[in-house]
Structure 1
Amino acid sequence: MDLSILSALNEERLSRRATILVTDTTTGQQRLVRKGDDTATDPLADEFSRRFRSGKSGMIEGPDGASLFLTVSVPPPRLVIIGAVHISQALVPMAEATGFDVTVIDPRTAFATEDRFPAGKLRAEWPEDVLKDHPLDSYTAVAAVTHDPKIDDMPLISALTSGCFYVGALGSRKTHGKRLERFRAEGVSDAQIARIDAPIGLDIGASSPAEIAVSILAGIIKALRKEPEPAAGVA
């Protein structure tokens, strides 16, 4: 491997950015594709999109018949849960079982106790203090479930501006309407606001904390693995 490609690949990995190393298995020629690169005119653009979502490497046939191996490197997905509530207690083990690195953030020490959450998963601090040292990124999902805007609003806005692949918030439609008013006042765009999954989770009729946790995790996995659905009215 060319040293410049290896250096770039290592830098992207350290920065939690996804890449695909394209190797022509006949000639040995390689190129590095970064997620976010302008690949609109690349004949492999659709394949790159699918691979970034699946995270799976593999052999493909190129447009000129060449045998290409795509080495896909994507960061381990993270889930940041804002709120150490009953839903969070059910969600943490489910998310870990599906491969997510989970952090629960809640400054309320009455809820954020080590006897309720696994060691190392809980940060009993304000979100702004935690996220200052552990910034969000495009391979992070954020689920805000406290019902308290003093705790939820900051990480939700940060998630939207950081390009997190999933941003969800608990609350009724009325509660969400008031949230949107606050966010617009903070300069959050309508396009960013439209990305919030609220009421949070897939609509499966969930009622118990465990069922709501299932619906949230299903929504997160859908956002991670499936192509976004076109907006209403768009062919």
Structure 2
Amino acid sequence: MELESLATLNAERAARRAAVLVTPLDGGPQRLVKAADVAGDPLGAGIAERLRLGKSGLLETDAGRYFLTVQVPPVRLVVTGAVHISQALAPMARLIDLDVTIIDPRTAFASPERFPDVRLLAAWPDAVLRDMPIDRYTAFAALTHDPKIDDPALAAALRSEAFYVGALGSRKTHAKRLERLGEQGFSDMDLARIKAPIGLPIGAVSPAEIALAILGEVVAALRLTSPRGEAS
């Protein structure tokens, strides 16, 4: 790899942006394609598919064979609410390589004893998220049922490029939530990003089952959508 490409790759990694190193197997120079440049690349469709999968691999085209080395940031899952669902969700999320952060100002809930080996922030979400960029490799889930905690976090998520935004609660609860967020200036298109009731419709009843439904919905949003936000 040329030093210029290596420097660019390192810069993209530091900024939590995806990039792909294209190596022609039939001869020719390597080149680096940033995620922002995929649409205009001659191999755009193949590169986009590899970015969607988050896996390196071979691409065969009429013009030749290429090996695509994919670099994607670690996927984050940011959760408001140190609740029973979060206790089940955190270890499940680690099994599928999600980097979990749980935010809850209620110290009786947000304790290391209840959440071992999890990044746990006992603080108000609006204060935390002010300094925590939410990018297109971040999923967000609001699980407290408390508008004072969930609403500011949802507002931050809706202003971001988060690939998934979900919120716990019944349809009646969510309707009131939409009214509150609408009063803050969010459009119907903005609010439609919120998956609520959260999780895939699998008939979940226990905290562990709800956590499973949430993770299923997160993975679907991650893997069934291209980096440009288009359905695959």
TM score, norm. by length of structure 2: 0.92
Which residue of 2 is the match for residue 59 of structure 1? 58
Residue 20 (1) aligns with residue 20 (2) = yes
Distance 2:92 2:210 in 1: 12
Distance 2:26 2:45 in 1: 23
Which residue of 2 is the match for residue 2 of structure 1? 2
Residue 210 of structure 1 and its aligned partner are, at CA, apart by: 0.9
Relative to structure 1, is the Cα distance of residues 31 and 171 closer, same or farther in structure 2, using a 3 angstrom cutoff?
A: same
Which residue of 2 is the match for residue 147 of structure 1? 145
What is the letter of the counterpart of residue 15 of structure 2? S
Distance 1:37 1:162 in 2: 20
What is the letter of the counterpart of residue 199 of structure 1? P
Residue 49 (1) aligns with residue 48 (2) = yes
Structure 2 unpaired stretches of 5+: none
Which residue of 1 is the match for residue 202 of structure 2? 204
Residue 116 (1) aligns with residue 114 (2) = yes
Distance 1:49 1:185 in 2: 37
Residue 27 of structure 1 and its aligned partner are, at CA, apart by: 2.8
Distance 1:230 1:37 in 2: 15
Say which is worse superposed, 22-31 or 192-201, in terms of deviation.
Answer: 22-31
Which residue of 1 is the match for residue 94 of structure 2? 96
Which residue of 2 is the match for residue 30 of structure 1? 30
Deviations 1:69-107 (A, max 9, x none): 111000111111110000000000000111111111000
Residue 120 of structure 1 and its aligned partner are, at CA, apart by: 4.5
Provide the identity percentage: 59
Residue 189 (1) aligns with residue 168 (2) = no
What is the letter of the counterpart of residue 27 of structure 1? G
1:54–1:225: 8 Å Cα contact kept in structure 2?
yes
Residue 155 of structure 1 and its aligned partner are, at CA, apart by: 1.6
What is the letter of the counterpart of residue 21 of structure 1? L
2:21–2:69: 8 Å Cα contact kept in structure 1?
yes
User: After the TM superposition, which segments of 4 or more aligned residues of structure 1 sit over 4 Å from their partners?
Assistant: 228-231
Aligned length: 229
Residue 149 of structure 1 and its aligned partner are, at CA, apart by: 1.2
1:43–1:63: 8 Å Cα contact kept in structure 2?
no
Relative to structure 1, is the Cα distance of residues 227 and 133 closer, same or farther in structure 2, using a 3 angstrom cutoff?
A: closer
Distance 1:26 1:213 in 2: 47
Which residue of 1 is the match for residue 166 of structure 2? 168
Q: Secondary structure at the match of 1:33?
A: strand
TM score, norm. by length of structure 1: 0.91
What is the letter of the counterpart of residue 201 of structure 2? D
Q: CA RMSD in A?
A: 1.9
Structure 1 unpaired stretches of 5+: none
Distance 1:43 1:192 in 2: 32
